[in-house]
Amino acid sequence: MELSKFLSELLQAYAGPGLSLVSFGAATLLPFSSEAALMGAIWSGFSPSEAVFWASIGNCAACAFNYSLGYWFGKKIEDRISRSKTYAGWAERMSRWGYWALGFSFLPFIGDPITVLSGFFRQKFWIFALVVFSLRILRYITLAYGFGL
């Protein structure tokens, strides 16, 4: 079954929780757009606020999941790679610019890897959550009320 057709059926069958699942999947490394799901939900009868709510739950949960994966894998492999010059360079950049990089975490293609790297380099979760969740929700609000009506 084609991925977009499957996601569309999931959205129709499970309404809000379906939109959360689609948004969760899209914020991991699955090749699907949560923005398209949000707009599809609105065009199929969801109110903009309802669509933003459900999409935000799934998308923010996935960002936290991505952070956790990065954190877990970072702990597992840090000893092996800590002597690498490449790792040292990235660790230094992330310690200096990492929180600023979170400002790009809402963007397609690069946003999801940023959420994994944030966990990998152990950024403070409360800062991560504040910035990333706010930007993701603001993106949905902009789409829902700017283009959904």
Q: For 85-100, what is each residue's pLDDT tens digit? A: 777 777 777 777 778 8
pTM beyond 0.85: the answer is no
Q: Name, in order, each residue with C-beta under 8 angstroms of 8's C-beta and a sequence gap of 6 or more.
A: 40
Which tops the pLDDT comparison, 93 or 149?
A: 93
pLDDT of residue 132: 96
pLDDT of residue 5: 65
In this predicted structure, the answer to whether residue 54 has a pLDDT above a threshold of 80 is yes
Domain-wise residue ranges, the chain: 3-147
pLDDT of residue 96: 79
pLDDT of residue 149: 52
